[in-house]
Amino acid sequence: MLIVHVFVHVKPEHVAAFKEATLDNARNSVQEPGVMRFDVIQQEDDPTRFVLVEIYRTPDAPAQHKETAHYARWRDTVADMMAAPRTSIKYVNVFPADQQWELPA
């Protein structure tokens, strides 16, 4: 399991459009076999800041995700909406080590 947090700072005038494009990407991403979970969270005290929490089944899954049409569409759509380049940090799961994450029905 690989967990990636992507930090995004959006220009204030693009928050609604960024959310729309990002939710489209997230809805498609969770359909990928290598994606266990794809959360979009917005900072409460600064709505221009987002974190995408991406949980992948294998180390190769992020590269496969970046080859999809929905990722390319998202990347190109939001490129000029960002106030700064996005950054990411990769994590590994420590606890629970054997937990299989599933989306609620």
Query: Which domains are assigned to the chain?
Result: 2-91 (3.30.70.100)
> What per-residue string of b and e applies to 77-101 under the rule 16 or more CB within 10 Å gives b?
bbeebbeeeeeeeeeeeeeeeeeee
pTM for the whole thing? 0.88
Q: Other C-beta atoms within 10 Å of 58: how many?
A: 13
* pLDDT per position as a tens digit, 64-100: 999 999 999 999 999 999 999 999 999 998 887 655 5
pLDDT of residue 94: 84
* pLDDT per position as a tens digit, 12-57: 999 999 999 999 999 999 999 999 999 999 999 999 999 999 999 9
pLDDT of residue 81: 98
Q: What angle, rounded to 10 degrees, do the helices at 69-78 and 15-29 form? A: 170
